[in-house]
Amino acid sequence: MLRTLFAVLVLLMSGTARADMTGLIEGTLGDTGYLIGKPDNWNGGLILFAHGYEGEREGRGSLGESFLTAHFKRGNYAWAAAGFRSAGYRPDWFLEDTIAVREHFIKTYGQPRWVILYGGSMGGHVTVAGLEQHPDLFQGGMTECGVVDGVGLIDWYYAYTAAAEYFSGVPLLDAGPEEFEKLVKGPFVDAIGRPGSYTERGLRFASVVKHLAGGDVPLLQEAMAQRYLEELRARQPGPAYARELSRHADTRHIVYDIDPGLGVDAATLNRDIRRVVPEQGARSPANPAFAPFTGRIRVPLMTLHGTADLDVPLRLEQDYRRRTLAAGTSRLLVQRTQRMAGHCDFDLSAREKLFDDLVAWIERGIVPEGEDLLGDVTRLGRH
């Protein structure tokens, strides 16, 4: 669930680098704080960092560095980050805040040679929204464990919960927040079982989740053992959940699949499963950060994703690849994976290589290698 992302993403936002804030420029633009790191011998490259989700609370977002700050410093790159005007899940606002920091940097220090928009988890939502909506402001984009298909994230949560309801017979989507937790820990677990000891209903549910999350990806079983209850979502989110994002959920386009021999066929499943419909006015092009993405990017985008990340599943990467194929922009998208059952826990070397390869693509036209996320997913993350 999105509230679980909070602890992980505070680490992604700050990490050990938070302990050493020397040499940084801190300030405020309106309701948004910012940090800037600019070396004396700046080489003209600028990275704008968009951090991850911090949960639902009052007050402004936090200021912090990415895990790549030391790498930027060694390469004489400048970087800047907005703390965001609020907590919560508002990529529309946070993109505006990031652009404001970009403008402030340029006004203060001069025009960069290029600007890379770089985001982790929710920051990936900000990144792709920025590349699609403001292609002239950025020369490249980079995401880690990113919400690269935008509102597809909330569609995943409710598609997952609808499948859980369908196979357990427990009315999860009708429950309020407090009742929901009781139903999950009681009747739902009784009906489905647990990973490694599923009931017959549970085996059906696990098969559907496999297809829904992106296929038979490495470490999926380990991820389910850790997270299979955490990804369930009440349709009436409580105060600890991303309320604005939840109102945009739409599962009417989801096509479910299930392995043969389990007593349920895909046609029956897709006909009978409950569908979640967005609230009135949601998913409107009037607010494109919360509308389905188009895949119409004009600059290079590189992504890094965990194979069995259930908080932000690989499915989002696959769906965004399909969008770029439909838009004729797939040549601008390079995707990579690491084998992991968690969220955002990448090797530092993989992060550094992602950035270095993106810079080489921007500066010298060297198109980096990626992986085929629409091919044999069992082989992903082998590099």
Instruction: Tell whether 278 is covered by a domain.
Output: no
Do 134 and 19 sit in the same domain of this protein?
yes
Spatial distance between the Cα atoms of 269 and 206, rounded to a whole number of angstroms: 14
Do 41 and 145 sit in the same domain of this protein?
yes
What is the chain's Cα-based Rg? 21
27 pLDDT above the threshold of 90: yes
Both tokens assigned to 50: 């968009």
Do 135 and 17 sit in the same domain of this protein?
yes
Do 31 and 82 sit in the same domain of this protein?
yes
19 pLDDT above the threshold of 70: no
At a CB cut-off of 8 Å and minimum separation 6, what does 161 contact? 172, 173, 231, 232, 233, 234, 235
Helix, strand, coil fractions of the chain, as percent rounded to 5: 40, 15, 45
pLDDT per position as a tens digit, 84-93: 999 999 999 9
- Domain interval for residue 58: 2-150+285-379
Do 262 and 129 sit in the same domain of this protein?
no
Cα torsion through 185, 190, 192, 197, rounded to 10? 100
Instruction: Tell whether 219 is covered by a domain.
Output: yes
Both tokens assigned to 143: 């995401």
- Residue 17: the pLDDT is 32
Instruction: Tell whether 279 is covered by a domain.
Output: no
Do 114 and 170 sit in the same domain of this protein?
no
- Residue 240: the pLDDT is 67
pLDDT per position as a tens digit, 221-262: 999 999 999 999 998 877 767 889 999 999 999 999 999 999
Do 217 and 311 sit in the same domain of this protein?
no
Our count of domains for the chain comes to: 2
Query: Domain boundary residue among 239, 272, 305?
Result: 272
Do 238 and 204 sit in the same domain of this protein?
yes
Specify the CATH number for the domain of residue 325: 3.40.50.1820
Give the residue among 259, 258, 326, 252 at the shortest CA–CA distance from 282.
252
- Residue 149: the pLDDT is 98
Do 53 and 122 sit in the same domain of this protein?
yes
Average pLDDT, the chain: 93
Query: Exposed/middle/buried for 111, CB within 10 Å: 0-12, 13-18, 19+?
Result: exposed
Do 74 and 166 sit in the same domain of this protein?
no
Spatial distance between the Cα atoms of 109 and 98, rounded to a whole number of angstroms: 16
